[in-house]
Every structure is written in structure tokens, then in C-alpha cells.
Amino acid sequence: MIKVGVLGARGRVGAELCRAVEAAEDLELVAAVDVGDARDPLASAEVAIDFTHPDAVMDNLHWCIEHGVHTVVGTTGFDEGRFETVRGWLASHPGVNSLIAPNFAVGAVLMMHFAQKAAPFFDSVEIVELHHPNKADAPSGTARRTAELANAAREKAGVGRSPDATTTALEGARGADVGGVRVHAVRLAGLIAHQEVLLGGHGETLTIRHDSLSRESFSPGVLLGVRRVVELPGLTVGLESLLGLG
Ligand SMILES: NC(=O)C1=CN([C@@H]2O[C@H](COP(=O)(O)OP(=O)(O)OC[C@H]3O[C@@H](n4cnc5c(N)ncnc54)[C@H](OP(=O)(O)O)[C@@H]3O)[C@@H](O)[C@H]2O)C=CC1
Ligand SMILES: O=C(O)C1=N[C@H](C(=O)O)C[C@H](O)C1
């Protein structure tokens, strides 16, 4: 049995993950922690899952690493600076590992992978992410990562920026420029988590779309991470390598 703790346990995703951990025969939920709760029960966990808030996640991660607890993190708000900080903490606690992924839904990981592969073959690439209106951050972590992967693939292949002759626009009309890729964030009641990667070339377009229709979509990927993080030394970013996507 792997002893598991959940941070953000009363949140939309955290509550779903508590149910998933309790339903798994090889996992035991030993701590369910949310705002206002002491973190002490987490010290008995082998793996802590964090789905809290971008402002809270670094402090939680630091606490877990200091207490020798592996972490599986879905909370967004990570950039290269934060990853470097986590690498530093892990370096002083050898044997403690962390898996941080912007999206644990298998379909979303495949969407990012396919977008990365397709991006160098088209003149234009833009991303539209669509989420429930209670989401704290914009653009989504998934959109940021997709843009970074697409842009890196285009740069490696020598493909320039997407053509755009706009000279006059209301601020925000062209979305955010994330690593050279335009990202548009929709917040709409009724939605959960959705993304389209739009690619355009000579007389054709390709749209890669993923929809999380329920927060259950994140559970299999998170549980895979919980079972595997112990054998992934240091910091692992993204679920790709666990799915054999390299
Ligand atoms: N990687 C992935 O696959 C996915 C990532 N996410 C990300 O996960 C995060 C959480 O999303 P979601 O569940 O929708 O958000 P919610 O706001 O529903 O849940 C977050 C929970 O964490 C609590 N919380 C805040 N700070 C702390 C803290 N310091 N310690 C313990 N608990 C805390 C919140 O309490 P309170 O409400 O009182 O502040 C809330 O109950 C977001 O960053 C989101 O983008 C979401 C879905 C999938
Ligand atoms: O807040 C959410 O809901 C989600 N957050 C993650 C993100 O920002 O990419 C993953 C998914 O999109 C759901």
C-alpha cells in the first residue's frame, strides 16, 4: 500500500482525487488537508498530491520536500524560475522526488504531443483554451505549456513566427503572446476544461481539440504519477515520459 496525502482536499479536483485514492486497492489516504488544516498528518504520507492554488503550491512543496514526502503536483503557476527553485530543494534532499504536470488528463497530454509534432508544418499556430469561470489563472497551465512546446518545435525546425499583419487592435484582442504563440482564454459557465490548437497553412487548417468533460479525467494520470514518482529521480515535468511519449 502506498500512503497518500491530498493538499486541496476540499477543492474541485482535490475532492475527486480523495475519492479516487480511497477507491484504489493499492493506495491508502492518510491525510486530506485544505486551507486552515495543519499539514502534520501529511508527514506520514509517502506521496502528497497538490491541487491547491498557484500562490500556495510552492510553500506546500517546500514543506513536503523538507519532510521527505514525494510530490505529485497539478497546481498551475509554474515557470522555469519555479522549476529551478524546486530542483534546488530536491538536490538537498536526495531520494525525494517530484512530478509536476500542467495537465494529468491522458487526452490533454496527447493533444500537447500532437500539437508539438504538427506545429513546424504550418505557417500559423494559435491556441484557444476554454474553462469554467472559477478558474484562478489565465492562460491555463496547459495552454502555456502547449505554446512553449509548439514554439520550441518551430524554432528547432527554423519556422518563423505566425504571420500577423495587425497594426490596429483593442488591447487583448489578439490574446496573450506566450513564447511567440497567441493564446486566447475563454471563461464560460457550464465548461470544465477544454483546449483547441489551431494550425493553418496553404489552403488548409488542422484543429486539435481536447475536452475534459468531468474532473474524473484527471484521476488516472494522477494515480499513475503517485505509483511511479518514487522511481523518477529529482524533478519530472509533464506526464509525457510516463506515457512513453518521450
Ligand atoms: N494538472 C492538472 O491536470 C489540473 C490542474 N488543475 C489546477 O489545480 C489547481 C486547483 O484547481 P481546482 O481544484 O479547480 O481549485 P479549487 O479552488 O476548487 O481547489 C483548491 C483547493 O485548495 C485549497 N487551498 C488553497 N490554498 C491551500 C493551501 N495552502 N493548503 C491546502 N489547501 C489549500 C482551496 O481552499 P480555498 O477555496 O479556501 O482557497 C481549495 O479548497 C489549479 O491551479 C488548477 O489550475 C486543475 C485541474 C487539472
Ligand atoms: O483550473 C482548471 O480547471 C484546470 N487547470 C489546468 C490548467 O490550467 O491547465 C488543467 C486543466 O486545464 C484544468
Q: Exposed, middle or buried: residue 151 (CB in 10 Å: 0-12, 13-18, 19+)?
A: buried
Q: Is the pTM of this model over 0.90?
A: yes
Could you tell me if the CB of 54 is within 6 A of ligand 1?
Answer: yes
Cell matching residue 167: 497594426
Tell whether the model's pLDDT for residue 239 goes beyond 80: yes
Does ligand 1 lie within 6 Å of residue 5's CB atom?
A: no
In this structure, the residues whose C-beta lies within 6 A of any atom of ligand 2 are: 76, 102-103, 131, 135, 140-142, 193
Take residue 109 and report the three cell numbers written for it.
Answer: 497530454
> For ligand 2, what atom is nearest to the CA of residue 136?
1
* Mean of all residue pLDDT scores within the chain: 97
Question: What is the Cα–Cα distance from 1 to 156, expressed in whole angstroms?
Answer: 44
pLDDT tens-digit series, residues 2-37: 999 999 999 999 999 999 999 999 999 999 999 999
What pLDDT is stored for residue 179 in this prediction?
A: 85
Confidence of residue 184 (pLDDT cuts 50, 70, 90): very high
Average pLDDT rounded to a whole number, residues 95-122: 98
**181-194 mean pLDDT:** 98
**According to the model, what pLDDT value does residue 21 have?**
98
Cα distances (angstroms) measured from residue 109 to each of 79, 101, 205: 18, 9, 21
> Cα separations (Å) of 159 from 79, 120, 180, 197?
24, 6, 11, 17
Is residue 219 in contact with ligand 1, taking CB distance under 6 Å?
no
Task: Give the pLDDT confidence score for residue 244 in this predicted structure.
Answer: 96
165 annotated ligand-binding residue: no
pLDDT of residue 89: 98
Active site residue 131: yes
Q: At what angle do helices 80-91 and 57-66 cross, to 10 degrees?
A: 10
Task: Name the grid cell of 200.
Answer: 493553418
